Chain A
Amino acid sequence: MGTNTLYDKVWASHVVHERDDGMVLLYIDRHLVHEVTSPQAFEGLRLTNRVPWRRDSILATADHNVPTTDRSAGIEDPISRLQVDTLDENCRHFALTQFPMLDVRQGIVHVIGPEQGVSLPGMTIVCGDSHTSTHGALGALAFGIGTSEVEHVLATQCLLMKKSQNMLVEVEGCLLPGVTSKDIILAIIGRLGTSGATGYTVEYAGSAIRSLSVEARMTMCNMSIEAGARAGMVAVDDTTLEYIANRPYAPQGALWDQAVANWRTLHSDEDARFDAVVRLDVGTLKPQVTWGTSPEMVVDVDEVVPEDGNPDYHHALQYMDLQPGTPIEAIRVDKVFIGSCTNSRIEDLRAAASLIRDRTVAENIKLAMVVPGSGLVKQQAEQEGLDRIFKAAGFEWREPGCSMCLGMNADQLEPGERCASTSNRNFEGRQGKGGRTHLVSPVMAVAAALHGHFVDVRKYMQ
């Protein structure tokens, strides 16, 4: 009968040294590396004549800058190309495992880690990217770091950190058809606020979480950072183990059995102590749509743009060119983006495609695009014929990468354009200067594409 949380357990098993001032030297098992936040870290290593401490802990891929159109001729933008070439060169120089742009296993770092079995329960996992929290869905402690920390982990396999507090988010109830884990996490962020979980590691628990697939759990853990939490976690259960079994980098044979015995302990004790507890019933939850420029600015699809005296609301409404009282379903969109580390996995694409049923994208939609999370997700989707469904409906079917989630490649919004996006951030300029982002689930994005404006996707479910 312990009182430890899942986070307490994974943290404790990775403490190398505790300083008198409470800072802990924490061992890092897995380091995922991409092209944007690593060049300065590798440069730092070279300048100090250091080498990576444990090369086999590292997996690198280029995802942010890569084009999602034909790649056979390389990257057209010379600045993007230099950054991707720099990663290739650093991986060669330090002999690191990398899935380069033309490898079928290439993809968004937070999609390929779990897909390959590179991310495992009980691990500490870091990456120079705030959405590293995604991997917590496997019962790992995974969090984003800055470039100085990337260099620190490369050089020492450790990070100097202070332990966070524990927050439990308990989600009960059975989701209605058309409502997804994206809607749950948006509702949680709406309730907690964008800094409500700052300083905490969040564990998502409860019957609703238990009944979610691992991929759906990833969508939730992914957006923990949008509530301020550096890490989100879900306890290991049979669903987790089934997901991991037989992945290329997962342990096999006797090692698998030994690992599973350990992973079975990766849950919070019955009397675990949490510093904060939030309870949510999602039995009546409706699809969520953000209306503003922070993920906390979110409402039900059948609501209206809210009125509030807060100056931040005023800024947001102005930027989004919306009037309070406008029904969400009356908001017309110009572009639709299905992709990102939040919602680009095979289940997301299946759910999105299933809604189409011979319908086509509305005439006012300038671009509707589907960007699979990895080459393997793309391959799987094509084997299932999902690409044909999307293309027949008027969607563009692209190559894997971060794409229009942040527009570091050519996939961007023009000033004033409005997008229904399955990504994670609706910040000003996130998808391109002056672009207006509304965050939704994949099925809500498809429904918006088919109608040209937001609609309550539950209408399709009856």
Chain B
Amino acid sequence: MKSFASIKSTLLPLDRSNVDTDAIIPQQYLKSVKRTGFGVYLFDNWRYLDPGVLGQDPGERRIDPEFVLNRETYREAKILLARDNFGCGSSREHAVWSILDYGFEVVIASSFADIFCSNSYKNGLLPVTLDAAEVDCLFGEVMLDPSFACVVDLEAQVVLDAQGREFSFEIGEFHKYCLLNGYDEIDLTLQHADKIKSYEARARRSAPWLFT
């Protein structure tokens, strides 16, 4: 997994709550058997006016110029800003893959859905939870000035703006450690293979019906 340390970037404001993973990447693109190439389908139903299919050249499609992702102003943003309960619904990891593949490295929101969060950590996408008032403040700044930029510093667990304002955020020690180092969780777990084997041996004796 790619490691994450800190980035400085402008923000793309997606002013919605409950952005579900169906909206992030619609069902027809889940037919891919690959992990890559989902960026062109990110927010597909909002971004394009016509329906698309997997493998279609996005250049052939009609874009919705009103949708924030299609505005030139935010083209370089690596931070996606949204409101409550971002990533709710389906467990599809394609949602995280499409956000990363598009070029975002951080999502800031006032809350996240559980499965989306854990999928993010496993792919090097940093979900940053700030208070609703802080998120409001960031929306205000970006709306006022699209060139408004922030530094997201994972080590210090802080979002910093140009005026020196700091918004600190929480993250589990383990996830921080994995993100900073780009660790693969499977490798970490397999270091405990002997413990898994002895757990299994005990469970086979105490609950044999679980092993049939």
Q: Does A128 contact B (CB under 8 A)?
A: yes
Known A-B contacts A25-B196, A158-B189, A433-B45; the reply to A80 vs B122 at CB < 8 A is no
Interface flag for A40 (CB, 8 Å) = yes
Tell yes or no: B188 within 8 A of A by CB: yes
Pair A27/B27 contact, Cβ less than 8 Å: no
Per-residue contact bits, chain A 62-88, to B (CB 8 Å; 1 contact, 0 not): 001100000000000001101100100
A40 to B31, CA, bound (A): 11
Which residues of B lie under 8 Å from residue A394 when comparing CB positions? none
Cross-chain contact of B33 among A17, A50, A86, A258 (Cβ < 8 A): A86
Chain A residues within 8 Å of B9, by CB: none
From A19, A37, A312, A425, B89 is in contact (CB under 8 Å) with: A425
B189 touches A156 (CB 8 A): yes
Residue from B27, B93, B203 in contact with A406 in the complex, judged by beta carbons closer than 8 Å: B27
Q: Which residue of A lies closest to B86 (CB)?
A: A195
Label chain A's interface by main secondary structure. loop
> How distant is the Cα of A148 from the Cα of B186 in the complex, in angstroms?
9
The reply to whether B18 and A195 form a contact with Cβ atoms under 8 Å apart is yes
Given A156-B189, A433-B26, does the pair A195, B84 have CB atoms closer than 8 Å? yes
Q: Nearest-CB distance from B87 to chain A (Å)?
A: 10
A251 within 8 A of B: yes
Shortest C-beta distance, A35 to chain B (Å), equals 9
Cβ distance A369 to chain B, nearest Cβ, rounded Å: 18
| A194 lies within 8 A of chain B by Cβ | yes
A99 within 8 A of B: no
Chain B residues within an 8 Å CB radius of A25: 189, 192, 195-196
The answer to the question of A274 belonging to the interface, with a C-beta cut-off of 8 Å to chain B, is no
Given contacts A146-B91, A152-B185, A258-B208, contact A79 B55 (CB under 8 A): yes
In the complex, which of the residues B16, B20, B186 has the most CB atoms of chain A within 10 Å of its own CB atom? B186
A16-B192, A152-B185, A262-B207 known; A40 vs B35 contact (CB < 8 Å): yes
Among B34, B45, B92, B199, the residue within 8 A (CB) of A27 is B199
Tell me the minimal C-beta distance from B189 to chain A in angstroms.
4
Q: Are A194 and B18 in contact (CB under 8 A)?
A: yes
List A contacts of B208 (CB < 8 A): 255, 258
A window 216-233: CB within 8 A of B: 225-226, 228, 230
The CA of A17 and the CA of B190, in the complex, are separated in Å by: 12
In the complex, what residue of chain B is closest to A45 when comparing beta carbons?
A: B186
| Pick from A16, A130, A149: contact of B90, CB under 8 Å | A130
The reply to whether B93 and A148 form a contact with Cβ atoms under 8 Å apart is yes
- Cβ contact within 8 Å between B88 and A194: yes
Cα A250 to Cα B195 in complex, Å, equals 28
- Whether A83 and B31, one on each chain, are in contact in the complex, defined by CB atoms closer than 8 angstroms, is yes
In the complex, the chain B residue whose C-beta lies closest to that of A145 is B91
Instruction: List 14 A-B pairs, Cβ < 8 Å.
Output: A21-B174, A23-B174, A146-B118, A148-B119, A148-B185, A156-B193, A157-B196, A158-B196, A160-B174, A160-B189, A230-B114, A230-B115, A251-B212, A312-B16
- List chain A positions with a Cβ less than 8 A from chain B: 16-17, 19, 21-23, 25, 27, 29, 36-37, 39-40, 43, 48, 50, 53-54, 56, 64-65, 79-80, 82-83, 86, 120, 122-123, 128-130, 144-149, 151-152, 155-158, 160, 162, 194-195, 198-199, 225-226, 228, 230, 249, 251, 255-256, 258-259, 262, 294, 311-312, 315, 406-408, 415, 425, 427-430, 433
Q: Which residues of B contact A (CB under 8 A)?
A: 15-18, 20, 22-23, 26-28, 30-35, 45, 51, 53-55, 84-85, 88-93, 96, 111, 113-115, 118-119, 122-123, 172-174, 177, 185-186, 188-190, 192-193, 195-196, 199-200, 203, 207-212
